[in-house]
Amino acid sequence: MGAGIAQTAAQGGWEVALRDVDEATVDAAIAGIGKRLDRLVEKNKLTADERAAIGARLRNGMRGGELAACELVIEAIVEDMTIKTRVMKEVAGQARTDAILATNTSSLSVAAIGEGVGAVERTVGMHFFNPVPLMKLVEIISGERTDPAVADRAAKIATTWGKTVVRVRDTPGFIVNRVARGFYLEAMRLLDEGVAGVDEIDAVMRSMGGFRMGPFELMDLIGIDVNYAVSVSVWDQLGKPARLEPHPIQRHLVENQRFGRKSGRGAYSYDMESPIPALPLDRKSFDLPHSTYEAVRLFADGAGAAGGSITEQFVFARILGAIMNEAGLAIDEEVASPADIDTAMKLGVNYPHGPTEWAERVGRRTCRHLLDALNEGPCAGRYVAARWFRE
């Protein structure tokens, strides 16, 4: 991601110095960026002169006092608080005293990083999405003591680089990595409960929900290890609520190094030409109480997913309802505005609709009716509806 951010900044007209663990790693990153720029020339998306100018703006920042001249420093290293603060503190000691210190963390506290660095006022979150040159979204996160002028400047810079900015309060997972938890967690719970299989759940969310990829397909693409780490981080930092508890299936896959596409096996096996499900289904019959049955039917119809079996609608309603409720809870907590939440989910993870605009289309009362019905019985407490649905 660091190389992607560097490429984006250079394409935006900025002089960019790259740093890493050694000069060879930086040289390899610059060479990789060059190859991507060459492909853009081949596709007539850049001229040869533009490509040369962009390349000339990239240099190895391990040589000389490059940091002393930088207006903005963006950290994009491993998602570990101790390592991030150690490296950022070292960088802050070499950078200009007025340089903006931005972290690309996906779930850690920006305020805590700023405290560890000793520069809370000029530490801000700039959370990019992979692949950075293609993904339009940037979450700008203000810590409790981040200077508003610093956050405004970071937002303006990202905008001039062609990005769409959403503003977020400094809470675990910010928007995307928090609101998206239900997409993955409910899918694993449904599999574990014997309601539907990996491929069936993915097919439902593609066909009935209009998602580009189902939850298991997307987890395998992102990396089960990455997804699980974010799940644990968000759940732990938010006080371990039942609705966000990481699922044992995730942990089992990680412990067995089944990380998805990059390891050849995850929720699916990639040994064959076409992926096949690699997680067993112990299918079990289930009877929905009449009130739940009616709530699911009404919700699915309002969400544009009429038709299909009640099992398919139940899968769809459980997953989408969890996403919508997490968005509502984020609104309750003033994490971000409904408009920014919708923008973030559409641009950050390619959702077909923003969760709050989708909920408004269904009707907040109908959504609340579904959540209340799901919250009865053994799942009590996991689907408590956000206040936003009761307004």
Query: Catalytic pick from 66, 75, 127, 200?
Result: 127
* CA atoms of 365 and 307, how far apart (whole Å): 21
350: helix, coil or strand?
A: coil
333 given a catalytic annotation: no
Query: Catalytic pick from 60, 75, 104, 106?
Result: 106
60 given a catalytic annotation: no
Strand 137-142 with 164-169, pairing: parallel
Contact (CB, 8 A) for 325 and 389:
yes
**Closest by CA position to 305, among listed 199, 204, 200:** 204
139 given a catalytic annotation: yes
N-to-C CA span, the chain? 40
Helix axes 2-11, 23-42, angle to 10 degrees: 50
Query: Catalytic pick from 177, 231, 233, 325?
Result: 177
166: helix, coil or strand?
A: strand
127 given a catalytic annotation: yes
CB neighbours of residue 365 within 10 Å: 11
Strand 164-169 with 268-269, pairing: unpaired
Query: Catalytic pick from 66, 75, 139, 326?
Result: 139
Checking 260-265 for CB contacts under 8 A at 24+ apart, the result is 260/219, 260/220, 260/221, 260/222, 260/223, 260/224, 261/220, 261/221, 261/223, 262/223
* CA atoms of 197 and 250, how far apart (whole Å): 15
Q: Hey, which residues are catalytic here? A: 106, 127, 139, 177
